[in-house]
Amino acid sequence: MADKIIITNESALKAKYQATGLSAIKTAVQALITADQQRGLKTQYIPIDNVSAMAKVNGKPVTDPTDAKQNKAAVDAVFKKLAPDYLMILGAPDVIPHQDLRNPMYSPGSDDDKLAPGDIPYACEAAYSNNPEDFIGPTRVVGRLPDLTGAKDPKYLLCLLATAASYTQRKSADYAKYLGITAAVWKGSTALSLDNTFGSNADLQIVPPKTDKWPKALISRRSHFINCHGADHDFHFYGQKGNQYPESLDASLLQGQISEGTVIAAECCYGSQLYDPARTNAQPGICCTYLSEKAYGYFGSTTIAYGPATGNGSADLICQFFLNKVLAGASLGRAALQARQEFAQSSPQISPTDLKTMAQFNLLGDPSITPIAIPSSHVAPPSGGAKAMGTAAGDGHMAERANRRRDLMERGMWLAASRPVVRTKVRTKPKAAMLKQLTAMAEEAKMIAPKMFSFSVRPPSAAARNMLSKAMIAKAPVSDAFHVVIGKVHLKEAPVPVIKALVANVSAGKIISVQELYGKR
């Protein structure tokens, strides 16, 4: 059994980098495997387009690198045969694609993303589907070490592989200080996030008045939490106050500024979009630039993300959960898995915005990297047993890690069975009485050209329902529908229209709560 699997598509890499480039990449992969071995991890490399390699895991080779279904089946075969503690996807989406999940919030003119592409299906037991509700119970530790989309030179990927091979664990004190950046309109929400993650928001940086010219003393800190605007195919993040949208982060200014080992959680729209740098005069996006500067892990969104102006929800929560787990000593991959599971458990039922959040947030980086060294309670048995039992810098002692993986698998499978979740395959129009209430809400919010749509809710499994008493079910009824109002609004502090979504939670035909969220674009 392998502790860690590295998968890629060699035919896709060869098409990008020719035979010499592929050879250099395989040499760098072997160096990572050797480094992992020295850390106590048994790592195996599997090209999922290779017939013999896939036969060994009872799977079919990928014949079309762009086919999401083939890639999902190949990853499932690897997990079922080898049960790795970590799976690292090697390459950008033009090597191993994101899965093509439907965006439940799609609304032309507001949320223009037809899909919410992401890697969460690779982390789930469920078979291929483009319904995001099929992937609410992740069980696997998965991360992606990307190359540059459309690249012809493997230099970037070789750099990332070298960083993964030579990574160093540090003390928790090295991650205690943070760079926290927020758009001014979301300062209350971000302050709460920093309190929940670091115990203080004293170092919150607000844009404006601040801009992207960050002093070395701040940007060199190893924990970064960013809650700003992002844009499609753009290497900037933006703050906001009134009609000002100053740049809060510029990828072209990050060179030489980032400390090795930095870990980033970014709520921004398109913050982890792996676009072709040819579209931006050869400047890679912020996520790719962080990694090239030897950041260890980046957690962000491929498309439009959501969050409240005050309080916490959606992108705020999943980013907090990720960083909290890293700071507690988890590997990057385990932190991502636990963040997804904790997010799925954070509300009584999974709404359309919750589904999009789970679908679109991905981990970029080697999932086995454990930035912070936390002592294990396990000690080596006598008579040379340490070698037999195995200890690893990646996520702790082998036996300890194996027990955690089993627990996380069981938890994920229970989430898949027990969580009420919206059905996205069929989207309907609200009935007349509900439409009247939603229209009134839209008018009160002064929404521009609002669109309204509804989803039914898939209830928990019978086994999950049977565990609750009738009294508990009556006291806390499960939602049977969600209604969404989405459009744009002119806020007092934002003359430029911003995306606003009202998500109404309904039980027995009555609205029991309404969540007010804003797009971070």
Does any domain span residue 495?
yes
Can you give the pLDDT of all 521 residues of the chain as single tens digits? 799 999 999 999 999 999 999 999 999 999 999 999 999 999 999 999 999 999 999 999 999 999 999 999 999 999 999 999 999 999 999 999 999 999 999 999 999 999 999 999 999 999 999 999 999 999 999 999 999 999 999 999 999 999 999 999 999 999 999 999 999 999 999 999 999 999 999 999 999 999 999 999 999 999 999 999 999 999 999 999 877 899 999 999 999 999 999 999 999 999 999 999 999 999 999 999 999 999 999 999 999 999 998 899 999 999 999 999 999 999 999 999 999 999 999 988 999 999 999 999 999 999 999 999 987 666 666 655 444 444 566 776 778 898 999 999 999 999 999 999 999 989 999 999 999 999 999 999 999 999 999 999 998 877 766 666 667 666 666 788 999 999 998 766 555 678 999 999 998 889 989 999 999 88
Q: How many domains does the chain have?
A: 2
In a domain, 288, yes or no: yes
Whether 436 and 353 share a structural domain = no
pLDDT at 468: 65
Q: Report yes or no on 124 lying in a domain.
A: no
Residues 361 and 452 in one domain: no
Whether residue 192 is found in the same domain as residue 299: yes
Say if 382 falls within a structural domain. Answer: no
CATH number at residue 238: 3.40.50.1460
pLDDT digits (tens, 9 = 90+) for 331-355: 999 999 999 999 999 988 999 999 9
Q: In this structure, what token pair is assigned to residue 321? A: 């959960």
Residue with tokens 């070395």: 216
Among 348, 367, 386, where does a domain finish?
367
Among 328, 347, 367, residue at a domain's last position: 367
- pTM for the whole structure: 0.94
The confidence score (pLDDT) of residue 387 equals 44
Question: End-to-end alpha-carbon separation of the chain, Å?
Answer: 44
Look up residue 344 and give its amino acid: A
What's the pLDDT at 461?
78
Q: 191 lies in a domain?
A: yes
Please enumerate, as own/partner, the contacts of 279-283 that have beta carbons within 8 Å and a separation of 24 or more: 279/233, 280/233, 280/234, 280/235, 283/235, 283/251, 283/252
- Give the domain-ending residue among 342, 367, 392: 367
Residues 330, 433: one domain?
Answer: no
* Two tokens, residue 88: 């690292």
Co-location of 354 and 473 in the same domain = no
Q: Does the residue 410 lie in any domain? A: no
- Residue 224 lies inside a defined structural domain of this protein: yes
What is the Cα–Cα distance from 42 to 19, expressed in whole angstroms?
A: 27
Q: Are residues 313 and 203 in the same domain?
A: yes
Question: How far is Cα 461 from Cα 464, in angstroms, rounded to an integer?
Answer: 5
Q: Which residues of 381-396 are buried (b: 16+ CB within 10 A; e: fewer)?
A: eeeeeeeebbbbbbbb
Sign, CA torsion 372/374/378/384: positive
Say yes or no: 429 and 356 in one domain: no
Cα Rg of the chain (Å, integer) = 23
> Do 461 and 316 belong to one domain?
no
179 and 261 fall within a common domain: yes
| CB atoms closer than 10 angstroms to residue 410 | 11
CB contact at 8 A, 244 and 208: yes
Same domain (yes/no): 428, 327:
no
Cβ atoms of 25 and 17 within 8 Å: the answer is yes
- Enter the tokens of residue 251: 């990828």
d(CA 319, CA 198): 13
Q: Indicate whether 358 and 290 sit together in one domain.
A: yes
Domain that holds residue 360: 169-367
> Same structural domain for residues 176 and 295?
yes
Helix (H, G, I), strand (E, B) or coil at 36: helix
Is the Cβ–Cβ distance between 109 and 55 less than 8 Å? no
431 assigned to some structural domain: yes
List alpha helices for 39-154, DSSP H: 51-55, 68-82
